[in-house]
Amino acid sequence: MSIAPPPPPWSGRRRRTVDVIGAAAVLGVAVTVWLGLWVTPPDQHLHDEVRLVYVHPPIAWVALYLAFGLAALSSVLWLWPRTRSGAWDRLAVASMEVGTVFTALTLVTGSIWGRATWGVWWAWDARLTSTALLLVLQLGYLAVRRVPADHEARARRSAVVALVAAVDVPIVHFSVDWWTTLHQGGTITNPNLSPTIHGAMAWTLLLGFVAFTLLFVWLLLVRYRVVVLAEWREDTELALALHERWAEGAPRAEPVAVPREGTVPAPPAGVGATESVGPAARG
């Protein structure tokens, strides 16, 4: 009995769309970098160090609000019974993984900026510290994801971790903020040294935000596709395992299996083949 697996999902036109977005994102980032490094003028006070403003705030925005916020939101939507759907779990893990990379980048660019402006690679100010803690929280999420378990258990556990992390981040932010600002004595290096932004600088900054957002969206879609493919492969393996299991038992009349959410294919012997097992799986 041969089973023809269905074609992998997300091929063809969807894939091309993702590629177009990717090209646009890379182009946007390249243009931003070019503009930032060469075209825009240096700031009066901060001189050349200001150029990081085109890169660091956009990355930070993507990491903290866009990626993490999206991951937390989809986790909550998964946990809520009424809106539960496998798509939310996939979105959460894709968003959180890509977000972790962006968080790390935020720390790196922030550290470089700190080195350039204050002369130190690291300072215990509110922003950097909160971001560092966020990175650890995200690494915890990824660690929970790696634990082998069936889909639902793993989705449940990671959704809870994301939710707890989301609740914790504002608390961390407030506590660290008070920690640094209420501390008397010792200068507080304030990363809020906002350079005056005008003209070409403003446009470049805007482009930076758009470009990095696009970059995140592209990476998110790519990662999402990987998750979809991994689950598709698991479903196919499950279909094979089911057929082997049926072969274990003594032959009898085939039962009618009603698949739920497309996870379980119908048994053979001509009873309504579903999408997971191709039409060749008869008899």
Q: Which residue from 18, 29, 172, 277 is in contact with another protein, where contact means CB under 8 A?
A: 172
Q: Which residue from 175, 203, 230, 270 is in contact with another protein, where contact means CB under 8 A?
A: 175
Q: Which residue from 20, 39, 139, 188 is in contact with another protein, where contact means CB under 8 A?
A: 139
- Alpha-carbon distance values, 282 to 19, 71, 123, 254, 279 (Å): 37, 41, 66, 12, 7
CB of 91 to another protein, least distance (A): 19
Determine, following the binding rule CB under 8 A, whether residue 150 of this chain makes contact with another protein. Answer: yes
Determine, following the binding rule CB under 8 A, whether residue 257 of this chain makes contact with another protein. Answer: yes
Determine, following the binding rule CB under 8 A, whether residue 227 of this chain makes contact with another protein. Answer: no
Q: Which residue from 3, 87, 104, 149 is in contact with another protein, where contact means CB under 8 A?
A: 149
Q: Which residue from 38, 199, 252, 279 is in contact with another protein, where contact means CB under 8 A?
A: 252
Task: Tell me the DSSP string of 122-189.
Answer: ----HHHHHHHHHHHHHHHHHHHHHS---HHHHHHHHHHHHHHHHHHHHHHHHHHHHHHHS--SSPPP
Reduce the DSSP state of residue 94 to 3 states and report it. helix
Determine, following the binding rule CB under 8 A, whether residue 144 of this chain makes contact with another protein. Answer: yes
What is the Cβ-side half-sphere exposure of residue 155, based on CA atoms within 13 angstroms? Answer: 23
List residues bridging with 54 in a β-sheet.
none
Cβ atoms 86, 36 nearer than 8 A: no
Cβ proximity to another protein, 131 vs 204, nearer residue:
131
Q: Which residue from 264, 268, 273, 278 is in contact with another protein, where contact means CB under 8 A?
A: 264
CB of 47 to another protein, least distance (A): 35
Determine, following the binding rule CB under 8 A, whether residue 279 of this chain makes contact with another protein. Answer: no
Gap between the terminal Cα atoms of the chain = 7
- Written as six digits, the tokens of 222 are 């790519």
Determine, following the binding rule CB under 8 A, whether residue 245 of this chain makes contact with another protein. Answer: yes
Cβ proximity to another protein, 44 vs 248, nearer residue:
248
